[in-house]
Amino acid sequence: MTEPYRPGQYPAGVAAGLPGLAPVGDQEPDEYSATVISEGQIRSAVGRLDRLVADVMSVSHIPGLAVAVVHDGKVLYAKGFGVRELGRPEKVEPATVFQLASVSKSIGSTAVANAIGRKIVNWSDPITLHLPGFRLSDPAVTKMVTIGDFYSHRSGLPGQAGDDLEGVGFDRAQIIGKLRLFKLNAFRLAYGYSNFGLTVAAQAVAEAAGKPWEDLCEELLYGPLGMTSTSSKHSDFLQRPNRTTLHAKVGDQFAPLYQRDADAQSPAGGVSSSVLDMAKWLTMNLAGGAINGKPTIDPVGLQQAHRSQSVNAAAALADARSRYYGYGFNVETSSTGHVRWTHSGAFYVGAATAFAMIPAAGVGIIALTNAAPVGAAEAITTSFSDLVRTGSVERDWAAYFGAIFAGLFVNTSVVATTPAPASPKPARPIVDYLGTYGNAYFGDVVVASSGDLITVRIGPKGQTGTLTHYDGDVFSWLPPGGNGDPLTAVTFNGGAGGRVGTVELEYVNSAGFGTFTRVPG
């Protein structure tokens, strides 16, 4: 693995003597940035973190967060802010455990790198080598798709494939089996961020190793790195005495309303950890797989994970920079030419996390929060990265990311945005709606009556919600399951003799599987 650049490490070359430029020395043209990152600049950035965090907490109103910074194998900063749960006195500490959401992808990727070092798998292994029963809708892609394809989101699966199944109670094996129903985008050309696509790849690694993914991560990563507060099991998180509670967004504030068990997609979103443990993980990445100078994670597999594998944000302008995805890592080139490895994580119901590493400076930062995503974690990591690279924050990142995440909380359903008519068209007699409806993706939903009310039951756990008449054959409901889903529409259509023929559940229709046809009988 190429040795990370350190200012002053190489002898002065053609750039020597030019103010503000770093020495080139004997590095290849693609291995250096012309902008100096000095030790003083790094220390100054760390010194400004307290104020930076305070400002972000003030504008975002998040209840709690923790931050850690590492540099050249040392922890320069590790602090907690705010409370673990609103209404309770316990403070967030550096040892407090948070749910990491999609930062789990990057963590799992480094476990795969160690599996590669132990010759259990390779990034290039076809999935069916280890999961012979796995299928996608295209037999040719099924045969070719690899662990690396799924870890870089270039399998052709559309983004978020399978997420709605998890929301109504399907388990990992059931969801992986349903992925064959999705029409694929262009194989290895289209980027589609898929939690369960990546989970397929991790499951293949686990099968090759002959043990559950959660245990494999403990053996290959958490144990060797001494990450004693880290786990890929939700039950372990719940047993931590020093842990946070999720806080959902309620207007401009937050409230502890939900839990989020992400075991079904554990490789993609189910890890929990503290910033102290994550500091060890950051240090290992920046040291090319070593901890305290001892080789720990395979450097070749790790370098491949850190390297650009697919375009995840193509430049819209000729003079702009594209952004890329490696294997579980975002790979970016900053405004100063320095490479950054990043990832964010978010649970809509109350967690947001982010890290950023600048390998040229040997610097990494992790920010973990116990609040729904509003851009706070990204504002901290990006602002700190600016300070390390340039000595100043390039823009108001809290406002920038806040505007992006605000779109997550906009409910566009007609039943939420338009008041019900004062004189709505009447509904049909209740009996015309009752029955079982199904499709190949979700299976059956059951429309039943409870007195004068209509209920809809969905999923293997029988999640049931009550409908409220809106207009004609359109009803509103708050989806069951405690997932924080917003008010949404249920629409009945067609049918012979007055009986309904199909029912459409708006909240599960993002993948085009929201229409259910009446089952005869």
| Residuewise pLDDT in 10s, the chain (521 residues) | 334 434 333 333 333 444 455 666 777 878 778 788 999 999 999 999 999 999 999 999 999 999 999 999 999 999 999 999 999 999 999 999 999 999 999 999 999 999 999 999 999 999 999 999 999 999 999 999 999 999 999 999 999 899 999 999 999 999 999 999 999 999 999 999 999 999 999 999 999 999 999 999 999 999 999 999 999 999 999 999 999 999 999 988 999 999 999 999 999 999 999 999 999 999 999 999 999 899 999 999 999 999 999 999 999 999 999 999 999 999 999 999 999 999 999 999 999 999 999 999 999 999 999 999 999 999 999 999 999 999 999 999 999 999 999 998 899 999 999 999 999 999 999 999 999 999 999 999 999 998 889 999 999 999 999 999 999 999 999 988 778 888 999 999 986 667 899 999 998 887 789 999 999 97
Identity of the amino acid at 255: A
Q: How far apart are CA 135 and CA 119, in angstroms?
A: 25
Q: How far apart are CA 353 and CA 65, in angstroms?
A: 9
Residues in the chain: 521
Tell me if 519 sits within 8 A of 508, measured CB to CB.
no
CA 478 to chain CA centroid, nearest Å: 25
Q: How far apart are CA 207 and CA 202, in angstroms?
A: 9
Tell me the H-state helices in 347-396.
376-390
Cα distances (angstroms) measured from residue 219 to each of 120, 230, 253, 254, 325: 13, 12, 40, 37, 26
Tokens 């409230």 label which residue? 255
CA 453 to chain CA centroid, nearest Å: 38
Whether the model pTM is above 0.85: yes
